[in-house]
Structure 1
Amino acid sequence: MPLDLTEIERVASISREDFYNNYVKKQKPVVIEKLTEDWPAYHKWNFEYMKNVAGNQVVPLYDDRPVSHKDKFNQAHAEMKMSEYIDLLESKPTNYRIFLYNLVKQVPVLREDFKWPDLGLSLIKQMPMLFFGGRDSKVFIHYDIDYSNILHFHFHGTKRCVLFAPDQTPYLYKVPHALISREDIDYDNPDFEKFPALKKAKGLVTTLKHGEMLYMPEGYWHYMKYLTPGFSMSLRALPREIVNLGKAAYNIFIMRHFDNLMRKWKGQSWIDYKNEQAIERTHKQLGIGV
């Protein structure tokens, strides 16, 4: 039995007014297929180009190992030159990913390759973030710490994106004091006996191709799987909802520092406790096994 997923709505192009009124105001995801076709990046952004302009950059890499008390919040697992990393992506599957990296800051020439879309969002100009992954590599399901509205552009290959609205959180086994679900849940093939609440979750899915953009509203959970080696760029805007601004401030200034402190103090027992609580709280709230 697979997850209950509905295809995300798609449009070829859209006006500023229609995007804002029909998707931002309603906090509804959408894929815009042709938004980047007049960008230089649409024709230039591939692995070879990235090697040429950023090959000497040393980039942080993440893999799919479980969270450890030894790691700080969002701490990278390895480093590698971009040219070596791209060679690895093209040679074989790898779990190493580049996650939330401001490569554009390090390589300013990349700024000339894309445009800031006029879609009614006040995009943060200092934060174009890049993400790279190898075939079949996965990004743990999570929501973003700052509750941003996200424009997620994919390049070079295909990528499967699964989203859940914030109101689906009760079914996703959220780990307390964190932005993730239980890491032992396989969102491609979930174990409904161990995680029965997932049967109630209603999500959204799409497969992004080169140049397509996915709009992810604030606070949306997202799980990504690279079907082929590729990379993406996210542009973001602060949350519109005052309550989400408050949640973002709490996450950034209190939650992540508290979690780092508890990891140092309690060690692995803190991680284990949080994972146990993810199941206990979810099942208690839904009256499962009580």
Structure 2
Amino acid sequence: MGKPEEKMKAILRRLENSDVPDVFYKNFEVVEKLKFPGLQLVSRFFWVLLACVIACSVLSKLFISGGRSCIIDMPEDGSKIFREPEFCEICENVTQVDKISNVSAEDFNKNYVKTAKPVVVTDGALKWPALKTFNFEFFKKLFKSVDINRGERKNCQFFPYKTEFKSLREVFDMTPERAQLKPGEKSWYVGWSNCNDNAGNILKGHYEKPYFLSNISENIALSWIFMGGPGRGAHMHVDNVHYPSWQAQLSGKKMWKLAPPPECYYRCKELEVLVEPGEIIVLDTNRWYHETSVLLGDVSITIGAEFD
């Protein structure tokens, strides 16, 4: 399974020096199978981290106004440490990622949204103009003409992954040869959330809410864009967002590897699925661990959003 198991083991290794009775953890199947000697419950590190998070919350309410950031930054993996244990029903007996088409909103909601089962809708974006219009030059022209961070929304983010870029502006300043993945040029892969309303309105002129989402589903306004060349995209991780999400593949091909939560390691399987242009993958990234790899060929471009 790899990283989910390693993270679970790392957490369990820290469960020391506590007076909490063994009964609170020894009955968990995953603990029995990992068999760590001298395992007790919560380590000093865990409690110190918890105290920092609580202090951050209290201090921010007392001293910070206007929606600014917290005085004490949450550790990068803090949300994963404190997440609630997952019910393994979401992944038990799931042996593959279904590929479906021409599905009704009612069936989609019943079979995939409610069950949190990952799925790829093969005709999800086939009719979108974005399949032909979205490319590096399109985004470069669009985002160089607007204030990328207009409004300073709380969740406006840029992910450089393993590149040297520190901002989206630096991405669009790369040479044309590198942008086009010419032979000998260094590969690149980045992601960002669009925080500019004007840019968002232009983007939405090229795509629409996926047809298989019900009319009562709200497509969260903040859109995500991921773009880059062959190689590893996002590392294996789980998100800390509010809702499930969809991601439409508009150019290039991307391999997704999915893993169940660590506590379900012995009851569920790791999955893989290839997503091609015109297809949309739908996944609850808060519950399924996931990583991506871009295959050789065209620049991979995807756009997505959360939905409620």
TM-score, length-scaled by structure 1: 0.58
- 1:207 partnered with 2:274: yes
Q: Is the 8 A contact 2:249 2:277 kept in 1?
A: yes
Indicate which of 282, 292, 297 corresponds to 1:224. Answer: 292
Q: Which residue does the alignment assign to 1:254?
A: none
Letter in 1 for 2:275: L
2:195 is equivalent to residue 100 of structure 1? no
Output one character per residue of 1:34-77: Cα deviation in whole Å (capped at 9) or x when no partner. 12122221232233433443455687451338xxxxxxxxxx74
Select 1:90's aligned residue among 176, 180, 190.
Answer: 180
Q: Which residue of 2 aligns with 1:37?
A: 126
Q: CA RMSD in A?
A: 3.3
CA distance 1:128–1:90, shift in 2 (3 Å) = same
Q: How does 1:201-280 map to 2 (within 5 A)?
A: 202-217=269-284, 218-228=286-296, 229-238=299-308
> Which residue is equivalent to 1:13?
102
Supply the distance in 2 between the matched residues of 1:149 and 1:236 (Cα, whole angstroms).
6
Return the structure number with greater helix share: 1
| Larger Cα-atom Rg | 2
Residues 11, 33 of structure 1: 8 Å contact kept: yes
Counterpart secondary structure, 1:233: strand
Report the Cα distance in structure 2 between the residues aligned to 1:104 and 1:213, rounded to whole angstroms: 24
Q: TM-score, normalised by structure 2?
A: 0.55
2:98 maps to amino acid: E
User: How big is the shift at 1:146?
Assistant: 1.7
Please tell me whether the aligned partners of residues 32 and 213 of structure 1 are also in contact (alpha carbons under 8 angstroms). Answer: yes
Alpha-carbon distance between aligned partners in 1 of 2:186 and 2:198, rounded to the nearest angstrom: 24
Whose RCO is larger (CA < 8 A, sep 6+)? Answer: 1
Is 1:80 the equivalent of 2:175?
A: no
Aligned length: 199
Deviations 1:175-219 (A, max 9, x none): xxxxxxxxxxxxxxxxxxxxxx9xx86211111111210010242
> 1:103 and 1:208, CA in 2 relative to 1: closer, same or farther beyond 3 A?
farther
Question: Which structure: greater strand fraction?
Answer: 1
Question: How do 1:185-204 and structure 2 match up within 5 A?
Answer: 202-204=269-271
**Taking structure 1 as reference, are residues 212 and 116 closer, same or farther at Cα in structure 2, changes over 3 Å only?**
same
Shift of 1:230: 1.1
Deviation, 1:102, is 1.1
